Amino acid sequence: MELLNRPRRLRGSSVLRKMVRETRMDKSSLVYPMFVMEGTNLKEEIPSMAGQYRYSVDRMEEKLTELLDAGVTSVMLFGIPGEKDEMGSGAFAEDGIVQKGFRKAKEVCPDLYLIGDVCMCEYTSHGHCGILHGQEVDNDRTLEYLARTALSQVQAGADMVAPSDMMDGRVAAIRRKLDENGYVNTPIMSYAVKFASSFYGPFRDAADSAPAFGDRKSYQMDFHNRREALKEAMLDVGEGADILMVKPAMAYGDLIREVKDRTNLPIAAYSVSGEYAMVKTTAKAGFIDETSIMCEMAVSAFRAGTDIYITYFAKELAKCMDEGIIG
């Protein structure tokens, strides 16, 4: 048979397959999400996320060092306060839990790049991502509190802030607050395209942030909508975002690609708690190979256009890159 085009020619050896690989990954693109909590000498496993823990500030160093040793150099911190109130005051308090976490991380691991998740759901007694007016989140009133939260995190040592609340106008409010206080070079990674997703379930267990009533569908996006996702992304570009995020990652590769193609900003994707829990639970049952699925999910996100991958599997993926399984 005379065939001029034989794609299999380029699959004949592992060296050749890697030589022509289209999607390439690097450990510098990995970000690990980490939970810090009040207390002393605490390391608590998160029931719905096997192998993931909440750490008291004095126990953070062991995990941070472990990540650095694996080659993971970026961490996103989430705080779990000891007390909550209607205003979420722990989010922007100078001695708030995540602020203490940033100071400790800078002290013990100064080479780490630290990212602050800017939201209020972990800190409000009602579990919503902003200030309430009756049963509704007051968008415009919330903006000042988000800006104060971002500033407090940067003052405590955050190198970047990442607003996840999905309030309209929050990127502009944060940019203005940071600039007014001299932090003109601190980048903002916006959760620009964040859907109201069922994949977040285990995170609400991890961060104790489930809403006390209702849901978050009035501010997080309807997952049916594609054009609205692009609108949200472009609005954040106009407000001064430096990096755009699509969240979740696994089921939204089409939007990662579309946002990538529409903008010239770096794109982040967050492989969320539900994705992690599905892999861990199914692998434990013996139905899948955990490492293979973990790697395939990561490659799919990068193939779609991801530049920065936020994942609870960061350390494991770094090892797979060292071993040549992916990368």
Active site residues: 194, 247
Rounded distance, CA 98 to CA 77, Å?
A: 7
User: Would you say 317 and 294 are in contact if contact means Cβ atoms under 8 Å apart?
Assistant: yes
Task: Output DSSP code: residue 13.
Answer: S
Q: What is the DSSP string of 78-95?
A: EEE-S--BTT-GGGT-TT
Task: Say which residues have a Cβ less than 8 Å from residue 182's Cβ, sequence separation at least 6.
Answer: none
How many Å apart are CA 267 and CA 256, to the nearest integer?
Answer: 7
Parallel, antiparallel, or unpaired: how do β-strands 267-271 and 308-311 relate? parallel
Q: Are 27 and 72 within 8 A, CB to CB? A: yes
Helix (H) or strand (E) holding 108: helix 97-108
